Amino acid sequence: MIVTIERLGHLGDAIGQGVFVSGALPGETVEGEVHEGRIAAPRILTPSPDRVRPPCPHARSCGGCLLQHASDGFVERWKQEVVRSALAGQGLDAPFRPMAVSPPATRRRAVLSGRRTKGGALVGFHARQSGTIIPIPECKLLHPDLMQTIPALETLVRAAGSRSGELSLTVTRSLGGPDVAVTGGKALDAPLRAELARIAEERSLARLTWEGETIALRVPPAQAFGAARVVPPAGAFLQATAEGEAALLAAVRDAIGEARTVTDLFAGVGTFALPLAAAAEVHAVEGDASMTAALDRGWRQAQGLKRVTVETRDLFRRPLEPDELRRAEAVVIDPPRAGAEAQCAALARARVPVIAFVSCNPVTFARDAALLVRAGYRLDWVQVVDQFRWSAHVELAARLSLPD
Ligand SMILES: C[S@@+](CC[C@H](N)C(=O)[O-])C[C@H]1O[C@@H](n2cnc3c(N)ncnc32)[C@H](O)[C@@H]1O
């Protein structure tokens, strides 16, 4: 079948004449066999001017990156359009700041898959639309420190993986070295625990956790947030790249300006709260008690920060109410993909002057921003922050304020 591509869907797949096409771009004419509504291996008849040679040799097979065949300019326009159309769906529009994109080889946290093989172990990403694991020795996405961890991960898989099941290996770059959290492996017993601890020592892992149990803690796997150092719970949320985190923090700082009392909602382990505490008193609210405890410890051990208070609270069920937001000159809000509808309804009533909104889901962001705009807020600007380079994932920061 010959298909002309009309658009990219939200997952980055090209779509034309009702058919999904892997690895194609809008405006291209492609030919290929349709199987279950998809052309998986298209022949590109007329290439788009936005088509580039994928920088990574694994790009064709690996499911880790889906947009390596598109120019940076195309990806920026497309990601901004995803946000713009989500806003338009709610009757909103806003000025867009230029996109901030993380450079290649900066991903500091990744979830890899591992499986035992006849000859040893296989560690990598899944292939496209498949459970097959693809080894990624030339990966252009991961930070070199994560790439260097792969042989240690292979050793762990050899020791505790099976040929039928798959291990999930979350590896995070930390100040103390690799922080590794594994699930899906063999059940722990005393000999396996000892073997895993030996591997952690031999391979200089900062921390190794197995199904949530700490097997080895050689060096605290700390993260720096401004003047503070925080040791997050294993597997806890962390922005995907240091560059992405810096761009989001710069946008948040810009949004809140001179505010001296800030409430940070969905605060995680203090990515925003702790750097902002250099200039403002911060109340940080987060649903996971182990994360608020880590944030609090980080603040107590840091020098020269203003007061940071923490609160563990489910903000879906019990959003902060207007009387609890009275002191806040600005709010930072960074919810999970589901957004923060209940909390935004309470913010609309509280009339906090400025809101810095960080979101990883343009659709729920647009829904929540519309709620605030209907209550009198202005959507001052939006900035796409692309820390998931070459993927269809869209992340953004925005400023909402009440007119004087
Ligand atoms: C996108 S992360 C942002 C974390 C932090 N702002 C950062 O940049 O590292 C969202 C955070 O919301 C927390 N969270 C998820 N559901 C929640 C809920 N119902 N109430 C409070 N916090 C929640 C998660 O634990 C996570 O830390």
Instruction: Give the pLDDT confidence score for residue 178 in this predicted structure.
Output: 98
Of 238, 241, 266, the residue with max ligand 1 atoms within 8 A of its CB, to mutate for a pocket test, comes to 266
What would the two tokens of residue 232 be? 């997050």
Using 50, 70 and 90 to split pLDDT, how confident is the model at 348? very high
C-alpha–C-alpha distance, residues 220 and 404, integer Å: 47
Q: Does position 146 have pLDDT exceeding 80, yes or no?
A: yes
- Say yes or no to pLDDT of 131 above 90: no
Strand locations in 176-280 (E)? 177-183, 207-210, 213-217, 223-225, 228-230, 261-265
Residue-level length of the chain: 404
Per-residue pLDDT band for 93 (boundaries 50, 70, 90) equals very high
Give the pLDDT score at 11.
Answer: 84
Residue 286 in contact with ligand 1 by CB distance below 6 A: yes
Over residues 125-130, the mean pLDDT reads 87
pLDDT (tens digit per residue) in 48-91: 999 999 999 999 889 889 999 999 999 999 999 999 999 999 99
Q: Are strands 167-174 and 133-135 parallel, antiparallel or unpaired?
A: unpaired
**In the structure, what pLDDT confidence band is assigned to residue 187 with cuts at 50, 70 and 90?**
confident
Q: Which residues are designated catalytic? A: 360
Residue 288 CB less than 6 A away from ligand 1? yes
Is residue 316 in contact with ligand 1, taking CB distance under 6 Å?
yes
Mean pLDDT of the region 35-45: 93
User: What pLDDT score was predicted for residue 350?
Assistant: 97
Ligand 1 atom having least distance to the Cα of 338: 16
What's the helix, strand, coil split of the chain in %, to 5? 25, 30, 45
pLDDT digits (tens, 9 = 90+) for 352-384: 999 999 999 999 999 999 999 999 999 999 999
Burial group, residue 398, by CB count within 10 angstroms (0-12, 13-18, 19+): buried
The most distant pair of C-alpha atoms in the chain lies apart, rounded to whole Å, by: 69
Tell me, what's the pLDDT at 185?
82
Closest CA to 104 of 61, 162, 56: 56
Choose one of 223, 237, 333 to mutate for the ligand 1 pocket test, by most ligand atoms within 8 angstroms of C-beta: 237
